[in-house]
Amino acid sequence: MKKLVALTGAGISAESGIPTFRDAGGLWEGHKVEDVATPEGWHKNRELVLDFYNQRRKKALEVKPNHGHEVLVDLEKYFDVTIITQNVDDLHERAGSSKVIHLHGSLFESRSTLDESLVYPIKGWELKLGDKCEKGSQLRPNIVWFGEAVPMIEGAARYAADADIFVVIGTSMQVYPAAGLIDFVSSNVPKYLVDPNTTALHIHNLQIIKDKASTGMERLKELILK
C-alpha cells in the first residue's frame, strides 16, 4: 500500500465548531498567546492557564468529527495513512483514524511539572490547581507550549520523508517545526494543500485545493483515486 501522510491543523476541526487560531474570531481572542501558551504564562498565572485549557477541553467534548476527518478514515481502505496533527483535540481518533501523531500534545492528558515522563489521562473536562502527580507536584496540560521542545517532530519527519503522497489540511503553516515537515518530503512526491484561504506556497509538485476540509477532502479523494 502506498503511504499517505497528512499534516493537519486547526482548519480541519473548524467545521466541527472549534475556532482556528489565526482566523478572525480565533481562539487566542481575549487571551495573549504568551499568557496561556508559554511556560512564562504558566508561572505567572497557573489558574488562568488551567482554565483556558479546561474551556478548550469542554468545547472539544461537545463537538463531533466532521466529513474532513471522515474522509481521512475512508482513505485507510486505499492507503497506509499516517496523520500528523498540530491539533490537541481528539477528533481524528474519534472519527476512527488508526495512526495519529499529536505534535503539540493532547487536551485529554495531563503531565507532571516535576517529571515530564509522568503523563495521565484527564477524566472529564477539568484539571484543577491542587491536582497532583504521584510525586506530589502540580499537573499541567500535556501540551507543547511556545518555547518548548516538540519531541514528536523526529518521528514525524521520518514519516514525511517516507511518504508517497503528502497532504496538508487546514494549517496556516506559520508555526515551526511543524510547518517545516513538508521540506522532508521528496520533491517528486505529489503534494496537496486543502485550505479555503491559502496563499501560494512555493513548493514543487504542490496542488492547491482551495476549499474547506469537508468538500475539499472529497475533491482530494477523487483526485488521488483516479
Where along the sequence are the contacts to ligand OAD (CB under 6 A)?
9-12, 14-15, 20-23, 26, 37, 86, 104, 144, 170-172, 174-175, 195-197, 212-213
Q: Which residue is nearest to ligand OAD (CB)?
A: 11
Quick count: other Cβ atoms within 10 Å of Cβ 202?
Answer: 5
In angstroms, the CA 31 to CA 53 distance is 12
Name the minimum Å distance from CB 207 to ligand OAD. 15
Closest CB to ligand OAD among 98 and 197? 197
Nearest to 192 by CA among 218, 156, 153: 218
CA of residue 226 relative to chain centroid, distance: 28
Q: Which residues are catalytic?
A: 104
Q: Of 82 and 171, which CB lies nearer to ligand OAD in the complex structure?
A: 171
Residue type at 209? I
Minimum separation from the CB atom of position 89 to ligand OAD (A):
10
Instruction: Give the residue with the Cβ less far from ligand OAD, 22 or 31.
Output: 22
Nearer to ligand OAD, 66 or 138 (CB): 66
Smallest gap from residue 123 Cβ to ligand OAD (A): 22
Grid coordinates belonging to 191: 503534494
Nearest Cα neighbor of 104 from 37, 19, 161 is 37
Question: Cell numbers at residue 86, please?
Answer: 498540530
Contact 132, 115 (CB under 8 A): no
Beta carbon of residue 215, minimum distance to ligand OAD (angstroms, whole number): 9
